[in-house]
Amino acid sequence: MANVKYVSATRVYAKDAPPAVDALDLDIKDGEFMVLVGPSGSGKTTALRMLAGLEPLDGGRVEIGEKDVTFVPPKDRDIAMVFQNYALYPSKTVAENMGFALKMQGVPKEERARRVREAARLLDLDDTMLDRKPKALSGGQRQRVAMGRAIVREPRVFLMDEPLSNLDAKLRVQTRSQIAELQRRLGITTVYVTHDQVEAMTMGNRVAVLAGGHLQQCDTPRQLYDNPVNQFVAGFIGSPAMNLQTVPLTEGGARLAGTVIPLPTAVRTAASQAGLREIVLGIRPEHLHLANGSGPVTGEVMLVEELGADALLHVRLAEDHNLVVARTEGRKPPAPGQQVTFNVQPDDVFAFHPETGARLAG
Amino acid sequence: MTAIPVRDHEPAALRLRRMSGQVGWGVLAWVVGIAFFLPVLWMVITAFKPESAAQTWPPKFVFSPTLAQFRLVFSGWGPFVTHSLIATTVSTVLVLLLGVPGAYALSVHPVPHWRDGLFFFISTKMLPIVAAIGPLYVIALKTHLLDSIWVLIILYTAMNLPLAIWLIRSFMLEVPKEMLEAAELDGAGRIREIGEVILPVISPGLVSTALICVIFAWNELFLALNLTVTNAATMPMFLISSVPQEGLYLAHLSAAATVASVPVILVGWIAQRSLVRGLSMGAIK
């Protein structure tokens, strides 16, 4: 059990290139499930590898359990990692794979076998599987063996690098909840890397959103969704993504599709203080409420995506001719080509600085 | 077999063209194969002929086969085959023992200037061996290694090592990086990493590397001819010694050549699966 701390941790791959991870500060509590999420190239995997000791630091430090481990070799950090492609040893049986780290630590054979069996039980790997080679296992089973290899060690920290990305969609959802449940049961601090924001939202106690090597925001999934600090987080978290439009400011609000969306005073003040004439307006798809011809925001339905419970409307707005996505009840969605109108609650609207992307007076 | 009706009436012209194409390639493959095999066949057949029948032209295919030439070969090959076995086996083991760490240092955890090292190894193969034989002879003479099995072991090791390092290195580069990192996290040191993680993965490659070394060492003649006389003379020298100053020798030579080829062919045949797997390791992802 241990907490993990990044203190201005920096990694530069090439001399003239921008840092892959730039002065990352992150405090992960003991027993917490922390998800690092971001698009490719955001530095999330590099950050994880820095914690693993597979990537040296060019600045700052990494701490595990209040101890500076920046220069501690990986094997002495008391961590276990699950790799994206599992990285199982093909020539060893499942049991040997899972017990390899213990063997390296000099744990006696009986003790090793006991702990391997225990971990296998935890993961629903039956005993017959323990003598097989990884080649003879399905993708899902291999994934569980990789998890088992980490669990057997009883480490202070679990590191997981996109462990679900090689599974098919159904198995991924299933395994997602199993991992989250297992982590809660074991109570071991976990750092989990993914590019999938749904995974991040459903699994993490807290989620750290990274982009371009910088930490954008670290908070609970709820807070990230409700209070994104900038345009990037707002657009990245949530599916379908938030509608983001650059719109001109007017007296009392912002002009969208020929109508004025009222903005809170605080936002207007912030915008005028920054000397802005336009802002980026953000509206989540579920906050565009379909109104039977009486709403202020009008547009034409271009495409309807039926999801069963909901339907997603791709709507071309009047005047601006921008496309937005609206989530509506799935039973009777409007047909493509139909004119629709929406109501928007002023409280549901986000405003961002068009250049810096920062949230205006959130 | 009910779901999809099999297309059973392929247009005749199309089928003819497809079939004739296949037959054409098949015939070509057989012709090339036989062309390669013919001298070998001729050698094996000649080995069973009496010396007088071996000399006739056009060659006779009807003759009373005899094992006389083989008896003669087996009566004299003892020391030669022993020397060949020792030189080949020991040099190949040495090549693997030195080649694995060498390749490791140039691939998995590359040392500084690994490119230069790699180029240096292969550059040693660029020099014609004839150019080096003079100095080698003098060195062997001064170190009292002339006509000793050790001179062949050392030189065969040196001869095969560059190629082996290149081959083993390419196999090691195929080992997934994550697996090595997993081993590092699991606490495996360098020795364990090589022994327990890398070697099992590249073992087909190692087998094919060893096989190539065996073939090269077994067939090597130039060094053996110049640096040994009797105490370390190998099988290729036995072949030469089968050629007498005068008289008929074709059948005897053929029998000796057949005997000398058998081990290499046998090893190749036994290891062919892993040879193909090893040499195409990088090709299939």
Residue B224 included in any domain: yes
| B181 falls within a domain | yes
DSSP letters spanning B245-269: SSS--HHHHHHHHHHHHHHHHHHHH
A55 secondary structure, DSSP code: S
Does B285 fall in a domain? no
At residue A336, the 3 state secondary structure works out as coil
Q: Which of B83, B73, B45 is nearest to B243 (CA)?
A: B73
Could you tell me the pTM of the whole model? 0.80
- Whether residues B195 and B273 fall in one domain: yes
B32 and B82 share a domain? no
Q: Would B125 be classed as within a structural domain?
A: yes
Q: Check whether residue B100 and residue B160 sit in a common domain.
A: yes
**Is B213 inside a domain boundary?**
yes
Domain range holding B132?
77-279
CATH number, residue B259: 1.10.3720.10
User: Which residues of chain B have a CB within 8 Å of the CB of A104?
Assistant: 186-188, 192
- The proportion of chain A whose per-residue pLDDT surpasses 70, expressed as a percent, equals 99
* Token couple for A87: 């990285």
Residue range A326-351, pLDDT digits in tens: 999 888 889 999 999 999 988 889 99
Whole-number pLDDT of residue A358 = 92
Residue A8 in contact with partner chain B when CB distance is under 8 A: no
Distance CA(B95)–CA(B162), nearest Å, equals 9
Same domain for B113 and B245: yes
Identify whether B112 is part of a domain.
yes
B84 and B33 in a common domain: no
Listed range (A204-208, A263-267, B1-5, B260-264) with the worst mean pLDDT: B1-5
Chain A, 90 to 119: residues with Cβ < 8 Å from chain B are 90-92, 100-101, 104-105
> What is the amino acid identity at position B105?
A
One domain for residues B14 and B136: no
The predicted structure's pLDDT at residue B3: 55
Q: Does B90 fall in a domain?
A: yes
The CA angle B76-B79-B99, to the nearest 5 degrees, is: 135
Query: Which segment of A283-287, B19-23, B64-68 scores lowest on mean pLDDT?
Result: B64-68
Report percent pLDDT > 90 for chain A: 60
Whether B36 and B88 share a structural domain: no
Inside any domain, residue B150: yes
When pLDDT is averaged across residues A234-246 and rounded to a whole number, the result is 92
ipTM: 0.83
Residue B90 sits in the same domain as residue B172: yes
Q: Are residues B127 and B37 in the same domain?
A: no
Reported as a pLDDT band with limits 50, 70 and 90, residue B43 is confident
State the best of A91, A105, A142 to mutate against chain B, taking most chain B CBs within 10 Å: A91
Stretch B84-90: mean pLDDT:
91
Say what the pLDDT of residue A275 is: 87
Q: How confident is the model at residue B224 (pLDDT cuts 50, 70, 90)?
A: confident
**Do residue B31 and residue B150 come from a single domain?**
no
- Of A229-238, B198-207, B230-239, the poorest mean pLDDT is in B230-239
Number of domains within chain B: 2
- Residues B29, B117 within the same domain: no
Predicted local distance difference test score (pLDDT) of residue B278: 65
B2 has pLDDT over 60? no
Q: Which residue of B has its CA nearest to A83?
A: B178
- d(Cα B101, Cα B174) in Å, to the nearest integer? 16
Residue A308 sits at φ, ψ, to 5 deg, of 100, -90
Please judge whether B176 and A81 are an interchain contact, meaning their C-beta atoms are less than 8 angstroms apart: no
Same domain, B42 and B81: no
- pLDDT at residue number B284: 37
Q: Is any Cβ of chain B less than 8 angstroms from the Cβ of A358?
A: no
